[in-house]
Amino acid sequence: MNFAIAIHGGAGNINRKNYSPEQIREYEAKLAESLQAGFDILEKGGTAIDATVASVTVMEDSPLFNAGVGGVFADNAMVELDACIMDGKTLNAGGITTVHKIKNPIEGALRVMEDSPHTLLSGNGAELFVYQKGLKLVPNKYFHTKKRYEQFKKAQEKQKIMVDHSMGTVGAVAIDLSGNLAAATSTGGMTNKAFGRVSDTSIVGAGNYANNNTCAISGTGTGDQFIKSVFAHDVSSQMEYGRKSLEEAGKSSLKKLASLGGHGGFVAIDHRGSIHIDFNSTGMFRGFKNKSETFIAIF
């Protein structure tokens, strides 16, 4: 089996003119580090689940992305985080939403998947659960960055919910040596979103889905339309019931997303190990790595 990993660090109105060459290098280096973290695990025979967690963790720990440290602010001036993980072999999944203190939200989602009879935990209950499972809690300030706070202030002045200020949701999909698929996604959501708002990222089948019969997929963009079009599951369903290829299914689901006024993109791997990345926004932080190729791009 040809193991592989694909990642994204958010899609949106990403134009080269808004980034200095140094900033571009910084993003590319972090994407490369994230890819390598997942790839190393796959190469040693590790699982797709562990690989996606490792890749997402690298980006959660970086202030460059809208997940973990550097997450955007909700309208209550707090960083509220969401994440989801799914195992394509068992269709087991775990998500956490609207949490303020879980240092690595993707680890929290993993604990829900592995140790809870439930699939999606929110707020205080999610924090208590993962704390009892031994994960680290941190004060909300741990996630705050000056850049995100300034964006929040601007959004408040304009009384807008800003998705284009919120680029940097992160995600990873992988296929391991045994042919198992997994998807993991983590976000701070949208700048100035309503306190308590739940993202597509945390919802199985909306921003994150994996099924060994079809594909693993992680999305990013205007989450409310991803929820309404049940985006990730829509891609998988078109493959399963409509016998479409990943590429055909992805194109059709992106069209549906656009018809609802949504934009963004996704990274995906099908059950044969073919990678497909697509977006209808101007850019997406993205990359993939398999035994023969490493690819990283932004614009």
Active-site annotation, residues: 169
Listed in sequence order, the residues at least 6 apart from 295 whose beta carbon sits closer than 8 Å to its beta carbon are 287, 288, 289
223 binds ligand ASP (CB under 6 A): yes
* Strand ordering across the sheet containing 93-99: 120-122, 93-99, 81-87, 181-187, 170-175, 4-12, 283-290, 294-297
| Closest distance of CB 251 from ligand ASP, Å | 19
CA dihedral 276, 281, 286, 289 (to 10 degrees): 10
Examine residue 104 and tell whether it contacts ligand ASP (CB under 6 A): no
Are 86 and 93 spatial neighbours (Cβ–Cβ below 8 Å)? Answer: yes
221 is a contact residue toward ligand ASP (CB under 6 A) = yes
The answer to whether residue 169 forms part of the interface with ligand ASP (CB under 6 A) is: yes
Of 55 and 201, nearer to ligand ASP (C-beta) is 201
State yes or no: residue 120 binds ligand ASP (CB under 6 A). Answer: no
CB of 162 to ligand ASP, least distance (A): 10
Relative to beta strand 264-270, strand 215-221 is antiparallel
SS3 content of the chain, % helix, strand, coil (to 5): 35, 25, 35
Stretch that binds ligand ASP, among 110-118, 133-141, 218-226, 241-249 (CB under 6 A): 218-226
| 254 is an interface residue for ligand ASP by CB under 6 A | no
Cα separation values, 198 from 51, 130, 142, 155, Å: 26, 19, 21, 19
Stretch that binds ligand ASP, among 41-49, 151-159, 182-190, 246-254 (CB under 6 A): 182-190
Q: Which of 57, 98, 166, 253 binds ligand ASP (CB under 6 A)?
A: 166
Q: In what order do the strands lie in the sheet with 275-279?
A: 208-210, 215-221, 264-270, 275-279
Question: For residues 14 and 269, which CB has a smaller minimum distance to ligand ASP in the complex?
Answer: 14
Contact pattern from residue 197 through residue 216 relative to ligand ASP, giving x for each residue in contact according to CB under 6 A and a dash for the rest: --xxx-----x---------
Q: If binding is defined by CB under 6 A, does position 189 make contact with ligand ASP? A: yes
Token duo for residue 246: 């990943």
* 3-class SS of residue 281: coil
Among 102, 135, 190, 203, binds ligand ASP (CB under 6 A): 190
Contact set for ligand ASP, span 23-82 (CB under 6 A): none
187 near ligand ASP, rule: CB under 6 A: yes
**Least distance (Å) between residue 52 CB and ligand ASP:** 16
Instruction: Collapse the DSSP code of 102 into the 3-class scheme (helix H, G, I; strand E, B; otherwise coil) and give the result.
Output: strand
**What residues pair up with 175 in beta bridges, in sequence order?**
4, 181
Residues that bind ligand ASP (CB under 6 A): 10, 163, 166-167, 169, 187, 189-190, 199-201, 207, 220-221, 223, 264
